[in-house]
Amino acid sequence: MDNSTKKSPNVSGLFYPSDSNQLAELIKKFASGKEILYKSNAVIVPHAGYQFSGHAMNFGFEHLKFKENVFIIAPSHHYDFQGFALPEYDKFETPFGSLEVNKQFVQEVQDSFGAYVNNTPFEEEHSIEVQLPFIQYYTNNTKIINAANLLKGLHKVKIIPVLVGRSTFEDVAALIEKFWKRACFVISSDLSHYHPDNVAKQTDNYTAWMIETGHIEKFVPEQACGSIGVCGLTSFAHKHGFDMIRLEMYNSGDISGDNTKVVGYGSWMLYEGRKTEFISKFYSDYLIDECKKSIIMGFEGQKYQPEYPPAVLQQYGASFVTLEITGHLRGCIGSIYSDKPLINDIVANAQSAAFFDPRFEPLRPEEYNDTTISISILSEPEKIVFKDEQDLLSKIYPYGIILMDKGKRGVYLPVVWEQLPDKRLFWTSLKEKAGFYKDYFSKTMEVYKFTTEYITTAPAYEEE
């Protein structure tokens, strides 16, 4: 006889189908159909009704690298308490069956963080419940036989549901740190609530920028109902030199057509490396092709706008595009600050390098097949603090360098070190490029360093 305590679903039939077969079919329809390039140990996913947020939720779960223990960190919508709340339940029920709670991990969290262990905060809460069918579907922990998932070899997982009350993102980051190697993490959060579409998009884009750059200092709860969990994972990522990669973002108006009061939904995954490296590794060919399309459109005097670019390329970013013919520079235009989606920056710089570099005549159609295209994706610039010029020289290699003073500016990409390997020659040349004398130095100088991921291609005629 099973004497375990079970948490019955309370939004089954409302937020998602109560029939297991219908539920499985609905989740199946959300499948992106795209190759999954990377599996992550932690994702951010929304928690609304599946008809609205299911697509974004699925993107997150498709990219989650499941382990035997799954933390679900979610906000409490109905109950106020200090710190974290953990359940006394042994299992959580869904139309697919039950998921067992890892009581050992619950005890460890309680011991380490003084968590509140009580079922009451979970009784009416949906922010954890809606994640459970996706976990079951993708680990084959369901009543439905999913042949594709049988090959994954992960037929039994345990969950650790954590509701966040009056807590801090530092506590969430510490919890993730403690269990990082022993579990995977689902951070449950919607974005902005009940704004007109134009306001919501502006707010959610700002939220996305904060998540994707790690600048969460001014993050406020109105930006995301699970803001503490979102900031906790973002802080953990930033501390370890990891980046958050956008998987999907939209709002309820994009689904319903009603743009008067919308709710925002987004999904992200933690990449154990830098975003620029991720893009270079997985999207190099795509970006070169987009540059080619932009240049070809430029021959006709038309701007180029990519259709349905991957979400990660809609994150704001800065780039340079360089054109060469037989090893000789034919154009180079770029941005040092990210003020638009990266994909838009790259295709615009490709056209500008081809047709609007003031040092060169516009590229001619007969030159196109001999042209090599290179893309440099820039990291966020970091200010260099220095005492004097000698101290500065010790800190500039092997970075890209931005020099600004008295309204003038000069920029060298890291690749310039190949032509100017001597630090003093590099620095002197950059000063002259910015419009200063070679011996110029001032305490008002601002100097920034950055890194790049470099993508290049053979001339077009060699590929065709």
* pLDDT at res. 150: 41
Identify which has the larger pLDDT, 2 or 228. 228
* Mean pLDDT of all residues belonging to the chain: 93
Stretch (H or E) spanning 291? helix 275-299
Q: Are residues 225 and 252 in the same domain?
A: yes
Using CA atoms, how far apart are residues 232 and 180, in angstroms rounded to an integer?
13
For residue 1, tell me if it sits in a domain: no
For residue 124, tell me if it sits in a domain: yes
Read out DSSP for 122-147?
GSS--TTGGGHHHHHHHHT-SSS--H
How do 193-195 and 262-271 pair as beta strands? antiparallel
pLDDT digit string (tens) for 124-168?
A: 999 999 999 999 999 986 655 454 444 344 458 999 999 999 999
Q: Are residues 214 and 303 in the same domain?
A: no
Structural domain boundaries, residue 421 = 274-464
pLDDT digit string (tens) for 56-101?
A: 999 999 999 999 999 999 999 999 999 999 999 999 999 999 999 9
Q: Are residues 267 and 328 in the same domain?
A: no
Using CA atoms, how far apart are residues 70 and 49, in angstroms rounded to an integer?
21
Tally of domains within the chain: 2
For residue 438, tell me if it sits in a domain: yes
Q: Are residues 359 and 374 in the same domain?
A: yes
* pLDDT at res. 280: 95
Residues 6+ apart with CB under 8 A from 401: 411, 412, 426, 427, 430, 447, 448, 449, 450
How would residue 27 be classed by pLDDT, with cut points 50, 70 and 90?
very high
pLDDT digit string (tens) for 265-275?
A: 999 999 999 99
Q: How far is CA 451 from CA 33, 96, 339, 376, in A?
A: 34, 48, 18, 9
Alpha helices, DSSP H only, in 82-226? Answer: 103-113, 132-139, 147-150, 169-179, 197-213
How do 328-334 and 452-456 pair as beta strands? unpaired
- State the CB neighbour count (10 A cutoff) for residue 260: 9
Using CA atoms, how far apart are residues 75 and 188, in angstroms rounded to an integer?
7
Ranges assigned E (strand) in 189-316: 193-195, 243-251, 262-271
Q: What is the CATH number of the domain that holds 162?
A: 3.40.830.10
Q: Are residues 107 and 198 in the same domain?
A: yes
Say whether pLDDT at 337 is over 90.
Answer: no
Q: Domain ends where: 209, 238, 273? A: 273
Find out whether 48 and 265 touch, Cβ atoms under 8 Å: yes
* pLDDT at res. 4: 77
Find out whether 310 and 290 touch, Cβ atoms under 8 Å: no
Q: Are residues 224 and 92 in the same domain?
A: yes
Instruction: Report CA 246 to chain centroid distance, whole Å.
Output: 3
- State the CB neighbour count (10 A cutoff) for residue 189: 28
For residue 307, tell me if it sits in a domain: yes
Q: Domain ends where: 243, 273, 303? A: 273
Q: Are residues 262 and 332 in the same domain?
A: no
Using CA atoms, how far apart are residues 96 and 133, in angstroms rounded to an integer?
7
Q: Which of 282, 285, 292, 290 is closest to 323 using CA atoms?
A: 292
How would residue 2 be classed by pLDDT, with cut points 50, 70 and 90?
low
398 upstream amide cis, omega within 30 of 0? yes
Burial 440-459 (b: 16+ CB within 10 A, else e): beeeebebbbbbbbbbebeb
* pLDDT at res. 457: 80
What residue has token string 């704004």? 195
Say whether pLDDT at 3 is over 80.
Answer: no
Q: Which of 218, 203, 280, 284 is closest to 249 using CA atoms?
A: 203
For residue 447, tell me if it sits in a domain: yes
Q: Are residues 82 and 189 in the same domain?
A: yes
Q: Are residues 118 and 223 in the same domain?
A: yes
> Cα dihedral angle (300, 305, 308, 309), rounded to 10 degrees?
110
Q: What is the CATH number of the domain that holds 391?
A: 3.30.700.20
* pLDDT at res. 153: 43
Ranges assigned E (strand) in 287-339: 318-325, 328-334
Using CA atoms, how far apart are residues 74 and 87, in angstroms rounded to an integer?
13
What single letter denotes the amino acid at residue 157?
V
Say whether pLDDT at 463 is over 50.
Answer: no
Counted residue by residue, the chain has a size of 464
Using CA atoms, how far apart are residues 86 and 392, in angstroms rounded to an integer?
52
Q: Are residues 246 and 317 in the same domain?
A: no
Q: Are residues 230 and 167 in the same domain?
A: yes
How would residue 338 be classed by pLDDT, with cut points 50, 70 and 90?
confident
* pLDDT at res. 140: 80
Q: Lowest mean pLDDT: which of 38-52, 131-145, 352-366? A: 131-145
pLDDT digit string (tens) for 208-261?
A: 999 999 999 999 999 999 999 999 999 999 999 999 999 999 999 999 999 999
Residues 6+ apart with CB under 8 A from 100: 90, 91, 158, 159
- State the CB neighbour count (10 A cutoff) for residue 20: 17
Using CA atoms, how far apart are residues 208 and 338, in angstroms rounded to an integer?
13
Residues 6+ apart with CB under 8 A from 307: none
3-state secondary structure of 156: coil
Find out whether 92 and 101 touch, Cβ atoms under 8 Å: yes
Q: Are residues 104 and 19 in the same domain?
A: yes
Using CA atoms, how far apart are residues 189 and 319, in angstroms rounded to an integer?
31
Find out whether 123 and 10 touch, Cβ atoms under 8 Å: yes
Q: What is the pTM of this model?
A: 0.89
* Mean pLDDT to the nearest integer, 16-25: 96
Q: Domain ends where: 220, 245, 273? A: 273
Find out whether 351 and 331 touch, Cβ atoms under 8 Å: no
Q: How far is CA 324 from CA 31, 50, 185, 327, 394, in A?
A: 41, 50, 46, 6, 32
